[in-house]
Chains A and B, each alone.
Chain A
Amino acid sequence: MSESAALAEFALRMGDSALILGHRLSEWTGHAPVLEEELASANVALDLLGQAQLWLSLAGELEGRGRSADDLAYLREPSAYRNLLLAEQLNGDFGHTLVRQFLFDAWNHLLLDALCAHPHARVAEIAEKASKEVRYHLERSSDWVVRLGDGTDESHRRVGAALEILWPYTGELFVLSASCPAATIVIDARWRELVDMVLQRATLDMPNDEWAQSGGIDGRHTEHLGKLLAEMQSLQRAYPGASW
């Protein structure tokens, strides 16, 4: 694979992950426990949507087949999607959503910081803009993990269970960050350190690393992605080229 094709693939994986996680978060709109948290979820979702647009535009340009970010988002089948499996997992309860967000944010934060020094100017530019947004996402999600973990017996039990369910999907994060061309990005150890620090404050135990799920960034997805895309792409499928 040429370096440009490899970079296009990496940008696609980053863009798809941000797009799918952002869409998941947007599902809370109208359903969040309190108004303040609903707006906060929607804000993070919009940040991720903006990042997805930047990554997917870059992927489309590097690919050179004239596909725009919208084409990539709305006109691909599930098997052509390259997002992390973690991003497509169901929201569950509020705590489950925040645990998923925290595991992703901690990784995204470290990765984007490293990408700010990437030799490809556009990649560095996107990372520069996104890293400010993600620093805030991480602050919010880690704050909530601590509150819920160190909260009531019920909230502790729920986020603990979410952590166990979602942990096997974290291995794939580092396969994606290591697939970045023209840069050596090893952030596994620092991610563990960061996550462990927050989990300790949350009085939660870090799960054991057993079987790690993988395949999302190669197009092999869980059953959840198809349903998500069916909803996300429905308007564009029913009214091709629609604009307003």
Chain B
Amino acid sequence: MTTNKSPEPGTNADADARSQWPLWEVFIRSQHGLSHRHVGSLHAPDAQLAMLNARDVYTRRNEGLSIWVVRAADIVASAPADKGPMFDPANTKVYRHPSFYEMPEEASGL
């Protein structure tokens, strides 16, 4: 196995070949949706092709009315390792939920 044209999946050569086209994250607002939702990702050399590719890969079944594409590298994400300090403290703050108000009779329709 010396002459393998395409890089073996999972190897560094494969990762290099893929890294030539940056990764983009795709967000689509559906027919009845109010906000854009993350639907997946794709590779594209620039914003214009990322948009065309998003249309071809993710809206084939009439899923969307609007598309956003964002370079994955431009997304700032919280680190999984920081999960504890980031989110655990909110667990014990039940008083932040609006569940301790007594609703007046007149507002029963709310």
Contact = CB atoms under 8 A, between A and B. Distances in A.
Interface string B24-44: 000000000000000000111
B17 to A, nearest CB: 10
B15 interface: no
B52 interface: yes
Chain A residues touching B, range: 10 to 19
Nearest to B21: A34
Interface stretch (A5-13, A20-28, A35-43): A35-43
Interface string A42-71: 010000000000000000000000000000
A143 B57 contact: no
Contact of B57 (A39, A136, A140, A147): A39
A143 B21 contact: no
A34 B57 CA distance: 12
B48 A36 contact: no
Contacts of A37: 53
A39 B57 CA distance: 6
B60 A36 contact: no
Interface of A: 34-37, 39-40, 43, 136, 139-140, 143, 147
Given A40-B53, A40-B56, A140-B52, 11 more contacts: A34-B43, A35-B42, A35-B57, A36-B43, A36-B56, A37-B53, A39-B53, A39-B57, A43-B56, A143-B49, A143-B52
Interface of B: 21, 42-45, 48-49, 52-53, 55-57, 60
17 contacts: A34-B21, A35-B42, A36-B42, A36-B43, A36-B53, A36-B57, A37-B53, A39-B53, A39-B56, A39-B60, A40-B52, A40-B53, A40-B56, A136-B55, A143-B49, A147-B45, A147-B49
